[in-house]
Structure 1
């Protein structure tokens, strides 16, 4: 297991947007909430006390200013954030009966699609996380893809959360081919059970797990499957399979839950100087997943994507 530098930094790359979330009991009013999968990952990791930077292009409109301000207030380094006059991406969120979130996106001509390649990331970068719309919407998707492959080649721990938004993927088969092309450059693949099923074209849990194991053969050292209230399962290239149950809480909504899992896992791995998840013992795997589940439990217990701080998480122990 190769150790990382003590000042190791997590970089999360992808979109920052504004979620318009139901505000009233009847869902007839919408309130703006700052979010976006990679944006939430950055905030989750930084709030847990690990140096974190965000890579994106953010609008200079009022929403963009608020997005940058929230990053800074959460302790995220914004030196890799590019700014542009294009508008901020909007996502209209609806909640199902079980408080699960569904999204409709407004992305035409928005700032985050026009991110420029920053070149090699800073030398203290220990981990890079990408995913969600950042890996779908062009021309930005090609930029994040380039960064992913380059940083993997430089020895950075690379993580991918596809966080599938099916309505934004016009050609599912082409996306699946592209997803497969990323796997040799990914060390840690994290995705929901539903997303894994969509990518695998399967609904049966055994078929989904079979596909997840096949993804390990393509490059990742670990695949993490989030299963909502049923917890999280970790599969590794060394043959380990570890499941940690979910934590029972009163769910307000699930916005940002998976992003919190990703940010918390990366925070744990960087703090413990882990680069190869497949080298962890079973106890260490359980510690990693339990830490991420605890963080996600706090997030779903409050409205919108509000990951916990390190202090809040300690108080939950």
Structure 2
């Protein structure tokens, strides 16, 4: 079973030692998800458009080193998207983006998708910035219609939003094509605002099978039509939270596909214990990521899967 990760790869500019110096860190939500999946041992392919500039070459090399397949990756001469990262005293991260005309916005929908793909991941800026956003949204619907398990993390970045209510309307339109929706508690609160706001109950009613809500260091809650399952976080010394949610995303997909979820019917058949085991694995993986600087997801040898 192959997992197809769709979305941007970019470079985070992260403050060093609390001073004005910025250090480049490879990232982007979907990029981090793909790296997490590859390191955990999943068969993963990354669909994006990555620059041929020096940052782009580093991004590709990092994917290869993390065992991520590049069979459907696109390349282009446009520049790499940059994200200026600000870290809070608790290690939390906020972002502003430099993305006009960059490579990942110009992705094209592939004519064919590998037949081995049984799950697909989407999220973050790739569903915000046009023209790529419409390409990814169409691919999300196409894969869902073909029986591929789809997982979406909107990964809300308010600093990048010029039309919040317009985005919420678009988000509502994606829901019938989403099987697993992953959000942070902050994302959920933002998505509930305004005249187009929605809640987990609305998401399930629209066809989503499971809503995975990350609660920072407090753990994860999974909401399904059958109820809720919550697991506690793992206590570690936090370096920063960059890539934590992306690690949860990748770890959940790795666990689910590794335990027999090969289509929407299998996903809907999971009981509370199955969701609890998946969430426990995800919090263990994310705890390793936050214990070291930057988005540096764990390898399979570093995290146990029950």
Give the TM-score range, shorter chain: over 0.9
Q: Which residue of 2 aligns with 1:187?
A: 179
Deviation at 1:222, TM superposition (A): 0.4
Q: Secondary structure at the match of 2:49?
A: strand
Deviation at 1:307, TM superposition (A): 0.3
Q: Which residue of 1 aligns with 2:282?
A: 292
1:225 aligns with 2:213: yes
Among 286, 293, 302, the alignment partner of 2:292 is 302
Deviation at 1:223, TM superposition (A): 0.4
Among 249, 253, 272, the alignment partner of 2:240 is 253
The answer as to whether partners of 1:226 and 1:258 remain within 8 angstroms in 2 is yes
Q: Secondary structure at the match of 2:199?
A: helix
Q: Which residue of 2 aligns with 1:12?
A: 5
1:283 aligns with 2:286: no
Give deviations 1:106-125, integer Å, cap 9, x for gaps.
00110000001113411000
Among 46, 51, 54, the alignment partner of 2:38 is 46
Between 1:60-69 and 1:267-276, the stretch displaced more is: 267-276
Q: TM-score, normalised by structure 1?
A: 0.92
Deviation at 1:147, TM superposition (A): 0.5
What is the correspondence of 1:187-226 to structure 2 with a 5 Å cutoff? 187-201=179-193, 211-226=199-214
Q: Which residue of 1 aligns with 2:154?
A: 162
The answer as to whether partners of 1:236 and 1:278 remain within 8 angstroms in 2 is no
CA distance in 2, matches of 1:283, 1:151: 28
CA distance in 2, matches of 1:299, 1:143: 30
Q: Which residue of 2 aligns with 1:5?
A: none
Among 72, 75, 88, the alignment partner of 2:67 is 75
CA distance in 1, matches of 2:236, 2:267: 28
**For structure 2, which runs of at least 5 residues remain unmatched after alignment?**
none
Q: Which residue of 1 aligns with 2:135?
A: 143
Q: Which residue of 2 aligns with 1:128?
A: 120
**For structure 1, which runs of at least 5 residues remain unmatched after alignment?**
1-7, 203-207
Give deviations 1:149-203, integer Å, cap 9, x for gaps.
000000000010000011212111111010000000000000101001000118x
Q: TM-score, normalised by structure 2?
A: 0.96
CA distance in 1, matches of 2:289, 2:140: 27
- What RMSD, in angstroms, separates the aligned Cα atoms of the two structures? 1.5
Among 251, 257, 263, the alignment partner of 1:270 is 257
Between 1:273-282 and 1:112-121, the stretch displaced more is: 273-282
**Where has structure 1 moved over 3 Å in runs of 4 or more?**
275-278
* Count of residues in Structure 1 that have an aligned counterpart in Structure 2: 301
Deviation at 1:281, TM superposition (A): 1.9
Deviation at 1:291, TM superposition (A): 0.3
The answer as to whether partners of 1:16 and 1:35 remain within 8 angstroms in 2 is yes
